[in-house]
Amino acid sequence: MPSAVEDAPSGPWSAPNIVGGNDIARPTITKPTYTGSLEQFNYNDLTPVIGREFVDLQVRDLLKASDDVIRDLAITISQRGVVFLRDQDVTPTEMKDFMLRLTTLAGSPESSSLHVHPLTEEGSELGDQISVISSEKQAKGGGLTHQLSDASRLASAGWHSDITFEPVPSDYAMLKIHTLPATGGDTLWASGYEVYDRLSKPMQQMLEGLTATHDAKFFLDEAERLGNPIRQGKRGSPLNYGTSLSAVHPVVRTNPVTGWKSIYVNRGFTKRINGITRDESDVLLPYLFNLVTQNHDAQVRFKWKKNDLAIWDNRSTWHCATYDYVEARAGDRVASLGEAPYLDLSSTGRREALGL
């Protein structure tokens, strides 16, 4: 198969204090300035650390808003981790249009667009860039839940960040739930900023010199089992193609929108920490995973209602669905691609940046 990047440079990002990244997937801006345009809207912070819910804010109206408003929303999502919008009257096409504008104004690389999931069927009714999240697909053994079903009966085994197995993973993701049970099916998010800040200084410094391997080769088996060939062409970035479904990223990465450091490993896709022994990796990874799952004060739990919508920053959060229902649950997800993950050694943690 010919390379999807044969005409593009793919070397590391050469800049002072930068570790990792890629020259063709660099952010176009960093640390954009919040203008205050969202202060006209009512909102509630759901916890001190993570989550904000806006009242009476519609994506359809935001599509007509100024660039300042959209950029301020991106900054808010990146700072608060996840933003919730209730009762949205918005189509999948409008969701795609909005996500493209959001990621562009937040500074995504010119080479990045919306992600095409490797398991998306050719000719999908909603288009390549919409992922249908449904209990029906899960019942057939789809996605991460099937991979984990043979390994664990712990609900916390499902914590992950989206598509970290790609060389250029997701910056933002948006999910609208349109079908749901009367109770159950909540989603939880956790803050990667807070997990980083809870590490001791020596542990932070050690992890900042390490990378980790992220892998989703189980999708190859799933594609064969379901009869859907893996999408091998460009999946939203010239660096995301083929069947390797594997990438190496810094264990600590900098979010370019906030300039804050976050832990960037997850139970769903991270297989090992590189540069240390397997035994050492097998000690460190579960410890980092436990910091996510066992610190409920670094999490927010959202109870969905019909047509509610969430937008989150995958660079500095994890999320986990709750499979405690038997009725139908379904929604549409759009994920945009950001930069190739990097660590800016001059960046700081969230608490230090905010003087907490």
Q: How many angstroms separate the most distant Cα atoms in the chain? A: 53
Give me the residues paired with residue 317 across strands. Answer: 191
Return d(Cα 265, Cα 273) in angstroms, integer: 9
Return d(Cα 354, Cα 356) in angstroms, integer: 6
Count the neighbouring beta carbons within 10 Å of the beta carbon of residue 86: 16
Instruction: Answer yes or no: are the C-beta atoms of 284 and 276 closer than 8 Å.
Output: yes
Give me the residues paired with residue 333 across strands. Answer: 131, 175
Q: Which residues are catalytic?
A: 160, 162, 319, 333
Using a 10 angstrom Cβ sphere, with 0-12 exposed, 13-18 middle and 19 or more buried, the burial of residue 102 is buried
Instruction: Answer yes or no: are the C-beta atoms of 221 and 228 closer than 8 Å.
Output: no
Phi first, then psi, for residue 156 (nearest 5°) are -70, -10
